[in-house]
Structure 1
Amino acid sequence: MTQTADRILDAAAEVLGVDPEAGLGDVATAAGVVRRTVYGYFPSRSDLVLALTRRAALEIDDAIGAIDAGPADVVWAAFLGRVWPLVGRYRVLVALRRGPLGAEIHAELAPVDRSLAELVRRGQDEGVFGVHLPAAVLGQVAWSTVFSIADHGLADVGLDARAVTTSSLLLLGVTSDRVAQILDAPA
Structure 2
Amino acid sequence: MPTESSRARSTNETRDRILGVALDVLGDNPDAGMGDIAAAAGVVRRTVYGHFPSRLDLIRTLTERAVTEMTAVLTEADASPAEADATWVGFVARVWPVAHRYRVLLALRRGEYGEAIHGLLGPLDELLADLVRRGQDSDVFARHLPAGVLSQLAYGAVFAIADSELPNGTPGARAATITSLLLLGVPESRALALVDDRL
Fold conserved between structures, TM > 0.5: yes
Any stretches of 5+ residues in structure 2 without a counterpart?
1-10
1:40 has 2:53 as partner: no
1:170 has 2:182 as partner: yes
**Which residue in the other structure is 1:124 paired with?**
136
Q: After superposition, where does 1:28-177 map in structure 2 within 5 Å?
A: 28-67=38-77, 68-69=79-80, 70-154=82-166, 157-177=169-189
Shift in CA distance, 100/125, structure 1 to aligned 2, threshold 3 Å: same
Shift in CA distance, 186/108, structure 1 to aligned 2, threshold 3 Å: closer
How far has the Cα of 1:117 moved from its partner? 0.4
Any stretches of 5+ residues in structure 1 without a counterpart?
none
How far has the Cα of 1:121 moved from its partner? 0.3
- The code of the aligned residue for 2:17 comes to R
Once the two structures are overlaid, the 10-residue window that deviates more, 3-12 or 122-131, is 3-12
Determine the C-alpha separation between the residues in 1 that align with 2:108 and 2:18. Answer: 18
Determine the C-alpha separation between the residues in 2 that align with 1:103 and 1:6. Answer: 24
**Which residue in the other structure is 2:7 paired with?**
none
Shift in CA distance, 186/58, structure 1 to aligned 2, threshold 3 Å: closer
Shift in CA distance, 186/160, structure 1 to aligned 2, threshold 3 Å: closer
- The code of the aligned residue for 1:129 comes to F
- The code of the aligned residue for 2:155 comes to W
Determine the C-alpha separation between the residues in 1 that align with 2:139 and 2:192. Answer: 18
TM-score of the pair, normalised by structure 2? 0.88
**Match of 1:185, SS?**
helix
- The code of the aligned residue for 2:73 comes to A
TM-score of the pair, normalised by structure 1? 0.94
Identify which of 169, 180, 184 aligns with 2:192. Answer: 180
C-alpha RMSD over aligned residues = 1.6
Determine the C-alpha separation between the residues in 1 that align with 2:196 and 2:72. Answer: 25
How far has the Cα of 1:155 moved from its partner? 5.5
Q: Which entry has the higher C-alpha Rg, 1 or 2?
A: 2
Q: What is the number of residues matched between the two proteins?
A: 187
How far has the Cα of 1:131 moved from its partner? 0.5
1:8 has 2:18 as partner: yes
**Percent of residue pairs identical:** 53
How far has the Cα of 1:184 moved from its partner? 2.2
How far has the Cα of 1:181 moved from its partner? 2.2
Determine the C-alpha separation between the residues in 2 that align with 1:75 and 1:24. Answer: 39
- The code of the aligned residue for 2:91 comes to F
1:148-186: CA deviation from partner (whole Å, max 9, x where unpaired): 212322356320111110110011011122112212226
Shift in CA distance, 185/131, structure 1 to aligned 2, threshold 3 Å: same
Query: Runs in 1 of length 4+ with deviation above 6 angstroms?
Result: none
How far has the Cα of 1:113 moved from its partner? 0.8
How far has the Cα of 1:3 moved from its partner? 2.1
